[in-house]
Amino acid sequence: MKQTFYKYQGTGNDFVIIDNRQGNFDKNNTELINHFCDRRFGIGADGLILLENHELYDFRMVYFNADGNESSMCGNGGRCISHFAQCLNIIDDKASFEAIDGLHHVKLENGIVHLQMQDVNKVDIFQEHVFLNTGSPHHVQWCDNTKTMDVKTKGAEIRFGAPYGNAGTNVNFVKAIAKNTFAVRTYERGVEDETLSCGTGVTAVALAMHATGKVEENLVTLETEGGVLGVSFEKNEFGYHNIWLIGPATLVFKGEIEW
């Protein structure tokens, strides 16, 4: 068997993307998806994304973690698949697509992809961390030094620990580095390791920083290990809305894999 694929990255968060508009890919083959994402025996990626037809919108995004299981929303993946759809001439510079968490709008301008995220109406603030769901659950924790943090070890402890249980959470470690600018490192569940960037993670960090009074403006810059992302938003009495994740998305290469 052979499969054509496209390797994408968005600030170092990398994905195998497959055009599944014909519906030929077996979405229940967890082992195959895991194999494709394996960095030694497969293509190598943080996750796998299928682009599929949609009866109402421009396309559907189906996202799988590197462990082979379908997952919650992936922000950088949403930006990358939008760029991919543009390359396939499915869309021009604007689009609407459905992901597991609902409808998303996107704008593409000079290689920068602006992805509208879901509204966030609940932010739980604790003494040492903030928890919120930006399409995926995120634990946001202040950190004295993100450069020396053992993200994999500490992240795994929080991800599998109370109160998150078996479902777990993604974990973000944050440090202020300038006005409205934060360094972020993220441990992602499903990958079970640090990723170079996480779109829903930096979105969670931006909102958490605003909710705790660490920023007042509605545009926050997030410096990840893989590059720089921006998050803009509006706040009203109900919570956060008109949230946009902003950053580059790049096609790395196209290939064909046999199995």
Q: Total domain count for the chain?
A: 2
pTM (2 d.p.): 0.96
> Does residue 118 form part of some domain?
no
Instruction: Name which of 153, 185, 150, 155 is nearest 168 in CA terms.
Output: 155
pLDDT at 223 over 90: yes
Domain containing residue 8: 2-113+249-258
Residue 145, domain CATH: 3.10.310.10
- Portion of the chain with pLDDT greater than 70, in percent: 100
Instruction: Please indicate, yes or no, whether residues 18 and 78 belong to a single structural domain of this protein.
Output: yes
pLDDT at 78 over 90: yes
Instruction: Please indicate, yes or no, whether residues 145 and 215 belong to a single structural domain of this protein.
Output: yes
Instruction: Please indicate, yes or no, whether residues 108 and 194 belong to a single structural domain of this protein.
Output: no
pLDDT at 166 over 90: no
Instruction: Please indicate, yes or no, whether residues 101 and 198 belong to a single structural domain of this protein.
Output: no
SS (H, E, C) the chain: CEEEEEEEEECCEEEEEEECCCCCCCCCCHHHHHHHHCCCCCCCCCEEEEEECCCCCCEEEEEEECCCCECCCCHHHHHHHHHHHHHCCCCCCEEEEEECCEEEEEEEECCEEEEECCCECCEEECCCEEEEECCCEEEEEECCCCCCCCHHHHHHHHHHCCCCCCCCCEEEEEEEEECCEEEEEEEECCCCEEECCCHHHHHHHHHHHHHCCCCCCCEEEEEECCEEEEEEEEEECCEEEEEEEEEECEEEEEEEEEC
Instruction: Please indicate, yes or no, whether residues 22 and 107 belong to a single structural domain of this protein.
Output: yes
Q: 118-148 pLDDT, tens per residue?
A: 999 999 999 999 999 999 999 999 999 999 9
Q: Which residues are catalytic?
A: 74, 198
Instruction: Please indicate, yes or no, whether residues 44 and 105 belong to a single structural domain of this protein.
Output: yes
> Does residue 17 form part of some domain?
yes
Instruction: Please indicate, yes or no, whether residues 138 and 107 belong to a single structural domain of this protein.
Output: no
Lowest mean pLDDT among 83-92, 96-105, 149-158, 162-171: 162-171
